[in-house]
Structure 1
Amino acid sequence: MVGLALMPESRERVVVQQQDLPVIDLSWRKERVRRLIVRACEEFGFFKLINHGVQKKVIDGIDREAREFFSLPASEKQKAGPPNPLGYGSKKIGNNGDTGELEYLLFHTNPSSISQRVRMISEEDPLSFSSVVNEYVEAVRELACELMEIIGEGLGLENTSAFSRLIRDDESDSLVRLNHYPPYLRRSAEEEEADDSTKTKEEIKNLRVGFGEHTDPQILTILRSNDVEGLQLQSPLDGRVWIPVKSDPSAFFVNVGDALQAMTNGRFLSVRHRAMANAKRSRLSTMFFAAPSLQTCIYPLPEMITAENPQRYRPYTWAEFKKIMYSLRLASNRLELFHVDRKGNYPSRSDEMI
């Protein structure tokens, strides 16, 4: 029986000054883009993407549908739940006691799956909702594949589509998630007109976690939010430090997932992050989680294994990792359960670890 590596709840947290992530402009020279994306994935595990090529009307469409859905009465929204894990959820995150200040919709990106789920959400005009979600998924999936091929080139892989082909697979297990973080304090008319970019000491003291600390298990995440702050990253240098990220509704925020960290043999970082709820304003975010098919075997690519950096992770299927993921708390270090020790030995089978 292997003990789980969990983030201690009692550890003191320090929030430092808000900052920008590394910025990648896809209109730059390709050589520069390759170099900077690889560096950002190695050093930060996150980067901000501008001039990404996803049309504004596609983004505006899914924003509109999300706002309309989350503004419905609770009884209407609950028709799309409870999440299993797909569907509508509120407050409760998973089956292991995690909660947050949010409500959400989670879809599989397969068009037939979206259509089936949307019929529970929008009885009056399901075709409009599903069309908007499918259009967004198609655009952002293509962006994810472009980024993964740039990464493949930047890492000098013999097969530069080693990552992107997993996302293009017809049986890809990719997901799209809409998160809504309602405000938890009433706001006066005067406050609505004021700029609340600076918070009082009392507001900082009363900050609430909207979605708790975690890493994303998939290959890559493409996130976008409105102009309300909330995303925070854990410092790679000090686990007590949380770094707020400036919002930018015109940009996407891209982060490395556990699967990509494993496939790069630890060269890329799957960084812990969380979302904070805002006291006075609603935060809306949309995530595309790029994932392989359930039967795909995840393992460090040969080019990533060297004498200085021997194999760190044992091969595992995406289905195996998901089984472990759903059995653990958000803050659990899932990837550690697939780590290879210094002697090159694999740990016990993951289904014996829990």
Structure 2
Amino acid sequence: MVVVASPNSMIGEKILPIDLPMIDLSAERSMVMKRIVKACEEYGFFNVINHGVPYDIISKMEEVGFDFFAKPMEQKKLVALDKPFGYGCKNIGFNGDMGEVEYLLLNANVPSIPNDSSNFSSIVRAYTEAVKELACEILVLMAEGLGVPNTSIFTTFITQLDNDSILRSNAVPGLQISLQHGVWNPVVPDPSAFCVNVGDLLQVMTNGRFVSVRHRAVTNSYKCRMSVAYFVAPPLDACIVAPSVMVTPNRPSLLFKPFTWEEYKKVTYSLRLGDTRIHLFRNCTQLE
């Protein structure tokens, strides 16, 4: 949740907001697959509606989120879980998120906090279970759209890999993506949709066909913006590499060398928030 703002874009000129591709998951399946692949190739982000996550679960999740962050700082600091989980508050920028940000990071498998008197844990658990189903369906649609014979190629990693993230935020603007170097495009928020981010690992696993674009959140000076992101992480020794089916005549060799999740995390911690990371694992002899 973001509470204070004074964002500065990489380039000072005013940039028009961008509407991400909006994909109706209730539409004809072949069309949905094609639109998802196109969005992943061109934007690295897309919105989904008619996603099947019940509205009452979404509204309860938002309610307990706002209730938690409205608590006095002393109470929020009591949520001290095993690192990296728990409550945090920091000022960050300029390359990544901008402004003062509060966050609560929970393990989706054990989404509990100390002294829970508001059914927080049960609400978060219901939300994560519903969004996990959505994530699995989207990954299957991605595989089908790519023409991968084994459509479980991505879903087998859903409990292991940070393939993508499923984000929902309220109606307050804040998300920005950088489709061109040096330009941050504000994304028009849509509280009725879930926002899907490809992420670095899906770019690797599709051998560069999908794109992972830089993104950040900037704060709003007048309104609070709260977002809920669902993602999972792999074991540290998990090997990240494109499957053989993603090596095609158009991409005859691996664009990225294999690496472990531990290696990726070490690179992440060594760079500033918002810096690009995936290029460090690129096969230097290969060009897209």
2:172 is matched with which residue? 228
* Per-residue deviation, residues 255-274 of structure 1 (Å, max 9, x unmatched): 10100000011110111111
1:283 aligned counterpart, secondary structure: coil
Change (3 A) 1:93 1:141: farther
Query: Is residue 251 of structure 1 aligned with residue 250 of structure 2?
Result: no
State the distance in 2 between where 1:62 and 1:10 align: 31
Aligned residue type for 1:142: E
Counterpart residue number, 2:141: 150
Distance 2:104 2:89 in 1: 9
TM-score, structure 1 as length reference: 0.73
Query: How big is the shift at 1:275?
Result: 1.1
Q: Which runs of 5+ in 2 are unaligned?
A: 1-7
Q: How far is 1:159 from its partner?
A: 1.4
Pairwise mapping of residues 291-302 of structure 1 onto structure 2 (< 5 A)? 291-302=233-244
Counterpart amino acid of residue 44 in structure 2: G
Select the residue among 265, 269, 290 that pairs with 2:211: 269
Q: Deviations over 1:5-26 (max 9, x none)?
A: xxxx995344411231111000
The residue number in structure 2 matching 1:207 is none
SS of corresponding position for 2:218: strand
Distance 1:102 1:50, change over 3 A: same
Q: Distance in 2 between matches of 1:245 and 1:10?
A: 14
1:331 corresponds to which residue? 274
Q: Does 1:24 align with 2:15?
A: no
| 1:233/1:98 CA distance change after superposition, 3 Å | closer
Note the alpha carbon deviations across 1:138-178, whole angstroms, 9 max, x for none: 000110000001111111112111111111x3xx36xxxxx
Out of 217, 238, 248, which is 1:306 matched to? 248
Query: How far does the alpha carbon of each residue in 1:258-305 deviate from its partner, in whole angstroms, 9 at most, with x for none?
Result: 000000111101111111111111111111124444332110121222
State yes or no: 1:109 paired with 2:111. no
Evaluate the alpha carbon distance shift between residue 73 and residue 146 of structure 1 in structure 2; reply closer, same or farther with a 3 A threshold: same
Distance 1:331 1:304, change over 3 A: same
Q: Structure 1 stretches (4+) deviating beyond 4 angstroms?
A: none
Q: Is the 8 A contact 2:99 2:218 kept in 1?
A: no
Asked if 2 retains the 8 angstrom alpha-carbon contact of 1:257 and 1:270, the reply is: yes
Supply the distance in 2 between the matched residues of 1:267 and 1:15 (Cα, whole angstroms).
Answer: 30
Cα distance in 1 for partners of 2:220, 2:98 equals 16
For 2:77 and 2:256, how far apart are their aligned partners in 1?
Answer: 40
Q: CA deviation at 1:246?
A: 1.2
CA shift, 1:86, in A, is: 1.3
Structure 1 letter corresponding to 2:258: P
Is contact 1:14-1:240 (8 Å) kept?
no
Partner of 2:156: helix, strand, or coil?
helix
Report 1:38-187 matches (<5 A). Answer: 38-81=37-80, 84-92=83-91, 100-111=99-110, 114-115=111-112, 118-119=113-114, 123-125=115-117, 128-167=119-158, 169=159, 172=160
- On the 8 A contact 1:292/1:318 being kept in 2, the answer is yes
When residues 155 and 98 of structure 1 are mapped into structure 2, their CA distance, relative to the original with a 3 A threshold, is closer
Secondary structure of the residue aligned to 1:224 is strand
Contact 1:14–1:242 (Cα < 8 Å) also in 2: no
Give the whole-Å Cα distance in 2 for the aligned partners of 1:268 and 1:71: 38
Secondary structure, counterpart of 1:88 in structure 2: strand
Distance 1:245 1:99 in 2: 15
Contact 1:144 1:290 in 2 (8 A): no
Q: Which amino acid aligns with 2:135?
A: A
May I ask how many residue pairs the two structures share in their alignment? Answer: 277
| Local SS of the residue matching 2:188 | coil
Bigger Cα Rg: 1
**1:117-138, CA deviations, whole angstroms, 9 ceiling, x for partnerless residues?**
x12xxx1527x11111111110
Question: After superposition, where does 1:194-205 map in structure 2 within 5 Å?
Answer: none
SS in 1 for 2:77: helix
State the AA in 2 paired with 1:282. C
1:240 to 182, 187, 200: 182
Give the secondary structure class of the aligned counterpart of 1:287. strand
Aligned with 2:152: secondary structure?
A: coil
Residue 320 of structure 1: aligned partner: 263
On the 8 A contact 1:221/1:255 being kept in 2, the answer is: yes
When residues 148 and 124 of structure 1 are mapped into structure 2, their CA distance, relative to the original with a 3 A threshold, is closer
Q: What's the % identity of the aligned pairs?
A: 47
CA distance in 2, matches of 1:295, 1:62: 33
Maintained 8 Å contact 2:98/2:219: no
1:15 touches 1:243 (CA, 8 Å); kept in 2? Answer: no
